[in-house]
Amino acid sequence: MGRAETKQSQTGAALVMTPGQPAWSGRNYAAFADEGYRKNVVAYSAINKIADAVASVPWMVFRGEQELTAHPIMDLLKRPNPMQSGAQYMRAKVGFFLLSGNTYEERVTVGGNVRELYQLRPDRMQIIPGVNGFPMAFEYKYAGRCIRFDVDPASMDAEVRHIKSFNPLDDWYGMSAIEAGAYAVDQNNEAMKWMQALLQNSARPSGALATKDDKEMSDDQFNRLKAQIEDQYTGARNAGRPMLLEGGLSWQQMGMSPVDMQIIETKYSSARDVALALGCAPAVDRHSRR
């Protein structure tokens, strides 16, 4: 009698260096969420548009070819848990996926039936690799607590469902869309800071004060004039205020420098790249407006 054959990948086990130990994600989720969502209006808007679109999709349940008007699955999707509606749940799911490349969905069963669903924060979850190249468990760590969700080695079933994007350099965790657009996000944020400094703090004056016949100013005159400019002519609240000049001073108007103009160009270009990284291209391209 021949030996029973089992279907198993020969390379799966080779992926596991330390089975039973947490596989750490190399991504900085906190930085992606802060710089790529909280501080970047382009990524914030793109992620919300995608999440709203997914949340607005109507769900239908069929038995064969017959559409059902009532079913426990429909009730679950309308109210996955006491704290979220179906739309709020889907927005959280899409947001976590775009920011981290991973979503972790916990199911709560009662009597063998799924009664509630919860989205778990990706940065709190760790995957425990098994010896066969598949996860043997998931660990959710928060506030000093660790909740373990074991995976059935036979059916690969678990109370947590992991959905991840393709990642060419990681066997366990998905790749964030924000990671692909990280340089564009940084450029856009820096361009916004530069422009904010120009508007709010007058980092570079729009003109220069010049003396006649190369007459030098004393230190007292220079310090008094500097203090007067900072107090009376700096900032948005003093925009357009006439300047009173004395002592042979004259005002020479200056336009935006090439550096300033390049910063604005970088802002437009990086904003487009951020939107493209998230799969939400701008409706109107900047060049088409000319």
Tell me the whole-structure pTM to 2 decimals: 0.72
For the stretch 135-183, pLDDT in tens is 999 999 998 999 999 999 889 999 999 999 999 988 899 999 999 998 8
Mean pLDDT of the region 123-131: 92
Mean pLDDT of the region 252-278: 76
Kindly tell me the sign of the dihedral angle through the C-alpha atoms of 32, 175, 90, 141.
negative
The residue extents of the domains of the chain are: 13-178, 184-236+246-289
| Six-digit token string for 222 | 């220079």
Which pLDDT band, with edges at 50, 70 and 90, does 253 fall under?
A: low
| Six-digit token string for 66 | 């017959």
pLDDT at residue 193 above 50? yes
- CA distances 2 to 139, 163, 188, 280, Å, are 40, 39, 65, 56
Beta carbons within 10 angstroms of residue 201's beta carbon: 12
Confidence at residue 223, expressed as pLDDT on a 0 to 100 scale: 77
Confidence at residue 242, expressed as pLDDT on a 0 to 100 scale: 53
For the chain, give the percent of residues with pLDDT over 70. 69
For the chain, where are the alpha helices, taking DSSP H only? 29-33, 41-55, 72-78, 86-100, 177-180, 182-200, 219-232, 258-277
3-state class percentages of the chain: helix first, strand second, coil last, to nearest 5? 40, 20, 40
Residue pair 95/51 in contact by the 8 Å Cβ criterion: yes
Residues 6+ apart with CB under 8 A from 9: 132, 133
Alpha-carbon distance of 175 to 25, in angstroms, equals 10
